Structure formats: structure tokens, C-alpha cells
Amino acid sequence: MNPAPRGIARFLWHNEMHYGVVEGDRILGLVEDYDVDLTNHPIGTFDTLRLLPPVEPRTIVCIGRNYREHAAEMEADLPTEPLIFLKPVTSLIAHGEAIVYPSWVSSTVHYEGELAVVIGQTCYRVPASEAMRYVRGYTIANDVTARDLQRKDGQWTRGKGFNTFCPVGPVVVEDLDPADLAITTRVNGAVRQQSRTSQLIFDIPRLISHISAVMTLQEDDIILTGTPAGVGPVQPGDVIEVEIEGIGVLRNPVVAGE
């Protein structure tokens, strides 16, 4: 039997940044020791080490309305080609870090659980047939959105761009078929979104081809592939979990902004 795919986490250890091999919530050892039997001497767990986002992107590309049922709940037409937008890298936070509710400008903040594609090497104008060779792996993201500002502005930079509005992690899994993975979002333990990545309107090769026709994608850049139906509001004090089969659980509390 093949072992379960192992994830790669990025974390602080003795005040330095490291990449480690993860099973469950245990960091078994450093990536450079991958071939050693790590099982019996974990460095620590997600609770005892300071996790960092598992990637250091220069560009965070997101896809809007890429699940039919979500497009319907937003009362939006089905797109005829992928709809892309960006989040700033300053919105990135790690598993466990707090989403700050920007109550000084917004009163409607929504979660959006999403599968994120991690780019492995620079690509530009890639045909869909060759796109997967530029993928390093997959992680989980929450495309946190100030829905009131998104609707008010008519474009999405402000509603999607707040600091802490892009939780990503906890790990990157490299050896994973993304075609049909269960994706679930829970708020305080209650299921709010439940779908499968097979329901994506535009698949990953198509997304990479479409985006790279516009901009160069570089190592560690991520593509948030869109969210299923069931988006809804959160409040300070809530805890959001996004779980994707084969990757794990991304958990972030929401705290009141000062």
C-alpha cells in the first residue's frame, strides 16, 4: 500500500525559517532529510511550532465564479471564460493566524473555501496541454471577502484585499490528483460549503493557460481556483475551517479589528 501523501509546511524553528515534512499535524523532520525515516522523532506539531504560509508568492491570482452553484447564488451569469482578479501578498496569513474583521469599513465579511494551485516554475503563455508541468502542488486557501465592499465598488480590489484576508496552508501536497477532491468549509464546526473539485467550471490546465496568456507566473505563485456554493458571513469570535481531501484542514479564527 502506498503511504498517504505527505505535505510540506514552512515554519519557524529556533528563529529560522525551515521547510518540514508533515503527517497529520506533526512535523516529522526537515525536507532536506526527506529520505530518512522521520516517523519517530517529530520536530513538533502545528500547535507547538510557529507555522508560516507554506508558499511565498509574488502574485496571488484568484478565479471568480468557477462553480456553477456559487455563480447562481451570487445571481451572476455563468462565465464563458475564467474571470481573474488578484489579492495583494500582504493579505497572506498562515494556518492558525487570525483574520482581522475590518469593522471600520465593512459590516459583511464572508469566507470562501478554495483549492489553491502552487506554481513550481516560471511560465508564460502556456497551452493547457502543457500547463500541469508547471504545477508543484496544492494547498488550501480562504478567499476572505468583504462582500458589501465587493458589491459597492463594482470591482474587487478593496473587498478582497484587506490584510489577513488570504489564509493559506497548512501544507503543500505535491503528489495529489486534484480532479475530484472533497472540499468542505465549516464555521464553528457547522458545515457551510460542501462540494468536489470535479465541479469546477474551468479546470486547472485551462486556468493556467488563461492566466499565463496575460502575466508571467513564477515559482510559489498561487492560483485560488474559486469557491463552491454556500458562502456566508462570519463574525469576530468565529473559527473558519476549510478542509480538502488529501491536503488537510486550514483553520483560522476571526478577531475584531481595532
Q: Which is nearer to Mg ion, 145 or 212 (CB)?
A: 145
Residue 54: CB minimum distance to Mg ion, A: 19
Residue nearest to Mg ion (CB): 143
Distance CA 133, CA 215 (A): 17
Distance CA 136, CA 258 (A): 38
Q: Which is nearer to Mg ion, 143 or 221 (CB)?
A: 143
Q: Which three cell numbers stand for residue 116?
A: 489553491
Nearest to 89 by CA among 171, 8, 9, 166: 166
Residue 82: CB minimum distance to Mg ion, A: 12
Residue 74: CB minimum distance to Mg ion, A: 10
Contacts of 250 (CB under 8 A, 6+ apart): 95, 140, 141, 142, 167, 168, 169, 170, 241, 242, 243
Distance CA 166, CA 177 (A): 24
Distance CA 212, CA 67 (A): 21
Q: Which is nearer to Mg ion, 29 or 113 (CB)?
A: 113
Which residue, chain included where needed, has cell 526527506?
Answer: 34
Residue 227: CB minimum distance to Mg ion, A: 4
Q: Which is nearer to Mg ion, 193 or 212 (CB)?
A: 193
The answer to whether 187 and 113 are in contact (CB under 8 A) is no
- Give the residues lining the site for Mg ion (CB under 5 A): 112, 143, 227
Q: Which three cell numbers stand for residue 157?
A: 480590489
Q: Which is nearer to Mg ion, 195 or 227 (CB)?
A: 227
Residue 223: CB minimum distance to Mg ion, A: 11
